[in-house]
Amino acid sequence: MASHPSERRVVITGLGVVSPVGHDADTFWSTLVTGGCGVDRISGFDAATFDCQIAAEVRGFDPTPALPSPKEIRRTDRFSQFGVHAAWQALKDSGINLEQANRDAIGVIIGSGIGGLTTTTEQHNVLLNRGPGRLSPFMIPMLIGNMASGLFSMYHGLRGPNFATCSACATANHALGEAWRTIKMGDADMMFAGGAEAAVIPVGIGGFCAMRALSTRNDDPKHASRPFDADRDGFVMGEGAAVLALEELEHAKARGARIYCELAGYGNTADAHHLTAPSPNGEGAARCMNMALRNARLNREDITYVNAHGTSTPQGDIAETQAIKAVFGEHAKRLVVSSTKGATGHMLGAAGAVELIACAKAIETGIVPPTINLATPDPQCDLDYVPNTARELRINAALNNSFGFGGHNATTLVTRFVD
What are the residues whose beta carbons fall under 8 Å from the beta carbon of 334, sequence distance 6 or more? Answer: none
Active-site residue, 52 included: no
- Residues 403, 66, 154, 71, Cα dihedral to 10°: 110
Active-site residue, 251 included: no
What are the residues whose beta carbons fall under 8 Å from the beta carbon of 401, sequence distance 6 or more? Answer: 173, 285, 288, 289, 306, 307, 308, 309, 320, 409, 410, 411
Catalytic residue, candidates 23, 85, 156, 346: 346
Closest to 14 (Cα-Cα) out of 259, 197, 249 = 259
Active-site residue, 274 included: no
Catalytic residue, candidates 169, 209, 288, 381: 169
* 3-state DSSP assignment of residue 273: coil
What are the residues whose beta carbons fall under 8 Å from the beta carbon of 57, sequence distance 6 or more? Answer: 20, 38, 40, 42, 43, 44, 200, 238, 239
Catalytic residue, candidates 23, 174, 309, 408: 309
- Residues 312, 42, 404, 78, Cα dihedral to 10°: -150
- Asked whether 209 and 50 are in contact (CB, 8 A), the reply is yes
Instruction: Give phi and psi for 149, each to the nearest 5.
Output: -65, -45
Active site residues: 169, 309, 346
